[in-house]
Amino acid sequence: MIAMPRASVPQAVPAFEFSHATLGRLPRVRIMELTLVISGLLDIAVSALADADAGAPALARLVDAAQSPAIDRDSNVAIACGALGIARQRDWPVAAFLARAAGIDRGAGYWLCAEPATFVVGQADVRLLGLVRDLGEPESSALLATLNAHFASDGVCFVALEASRWLVGADAEQALVTHPPDAVLGAPLLALLPTGADAPRWRRWQSEMQMMLFEHPVNRARESAGRAPVNGVWLWGGGTPVAGSPPARIATLHTDAWLPRELARGAGVASASVPPSFDALRGKDAVSPVLVWLDAPDAGEAERLAKWLAATDRDWARPAAGALNAGQISRLDLALSGRATTLRFRAQRLSFARRLRNWRATPRLSALLATALER
């Protein structure tokens, strides 16, 4: 073997690059299967990500060494439901599992999420501006009372999980296909309204909801105070409370996001908050397989994005890659998602020589993701 000049050998190898000598010094931990979800990463513009991704070399190496990703043209809802063993009906039955998690039993045979929302009317279309998440309890109660009084004879009832999170239950199963709000924000809504045999009735009801809410005293007060009005309801995630479901793919979910946490509760899967790091997760002795759900920050805050990406790389990607290469993780999956697309990668265990080569020529995460999304 040709000896390398000492000056060309790196003086320090990053924490995730292990030699045979260092492997013996690693703590003995139970082998786990880990899925790392980074939600919202694909919603960040390539230019904004490129300004921050120099701080994420380990994540870039994991993506670069993985096989070609599986591409799902679906939302974060599909990631959560798929991992938790929630089978898709016409929709992902999000509302039915949220009702189960909240212990709501109104005898409904079908549930829909009924999100209080702000719509904007343009010259040629209507768009969903955003969901209203700052409703107070009195505001929510007043709005729901109006809706329930109007639809009392139609076999539907509105209930609040929280002040700004509503469900609507129907007596019988409904033939509807809907879209999660994240997938339709800012888009013309005509082609994204519910479809299916029962859709004409629900579309008519949505129009009635808009008319009732538009001049509601709660909304007049909110607009006077400069707050977003609830001038409509977005319906999505319908389904029936099926007793039997396929087994969950994970045993433990770590998330600080409301929706996957509540879905886990409805599916009977253990959940907890996100630990500060991969090492802290191992210290908890989490039951495997484990899914850790991280939410990317708003790309509009460049400094915050850069700090978050560097911290994610340091605390999660680098030590997880090291544990994979040391044989302490039997499987490491990455799910990098946006509003309507998810890239799924299966991380590969690499030889020390390959890791050393990758360390010397680190790819850029933004370029790797742009290439993957073009396929």
Tokens of 159: 């209930």
**Identity (one letter) of the amino acid at 144?**
L
CB neighbour burial string for 322-339, b if at least 16 within 10 angstroms, e if fewer = bbbbeebbeebbbbbbbb
Which uninterrupted H or E stretch holds 140? helix 137-150
Using the 8-state DSSP alphabet, how is residue 147 labeled?
H
Give the number of other CB atoms < 10 A from CB of residue 4: 8
Q: What is the pLDDT of residue 358?
A: 62
pTM value is 0.88
Which uninterrupted H or E stretch holds 59? helix 57-65
| 3-class state of residue 292 by DSSP | strand
Beta carbons within 8 Å of 44's beta carbon, 6+ residues apart: 296, 299, 305
Instruction: For 154-248, list the strands marked E by DSSP.
Output: 156-162, 165-170, 232-239
User: Of 87, 355, 363, 118, which is closest to residue 242 (Cα–Cα)?
Assistant: 87
User: How distant, in Å, are the alpha carbons of 6, 186, 372 from that of 193?
Assistant: 66, 14, 30
Q: What is the pLDDT of residue 352?
A: 64
For each of the chain's 375 residues, which pLDDT tens digit applies?
A: 333 333 333 333 343 333 333 334 444 446 789 999 999 999 999 899 999 999 999 999 999 988 889 998 877 999 999 999 999 999 999 999 999 999 997 777 899 999 999 999 887 889 999 999 999 999 999 999 999 999 999 999 999 999 999 999 999 999 999 999 998 998 999 999 999 999 999 999 999 999 999 999 999 999 999 999 999 999 999 999 776 678 899 999 999 999 999 999 999 999 999 999 999 998 876 789 999 999 999 877 889 999 999 999 999 999 999 999 888 999 999 999 998 899 999 998 866 666 666 666 678 999 999 988 887
User: How distant, in Å, are the alpha carbons of 83, 230, 268 from that of 247?
Assistant: 9, 38, 10
The domain spans of the chain are: 29-78+246-373, 89-239
Residues 224, 24: Cα–Cα separation, whole Å: 66
Q: What is the pLDDT of residue 74?
A: 78
Q: Look at the block and give the residue holding tokens 């959940």.
A: 271
Tokens of 115: 């999100």
- DSSP codes, 354-374: HHHHHHHSPPPHHHHHHHHHT
Residues 185, 310: Cα–Cα separation, whole Å: 29
Residues 225, 221: Cα–Cα separation, whole Å: 6
CB neighbour burial string for 91-124, b if at least 16 within 10 angstroms, e if fewer = bbbbbbbbbbbbebeeebebbbbbbbbbbeeeee
Residues 177, 108: Cα–Cα separation, whole Å: 18
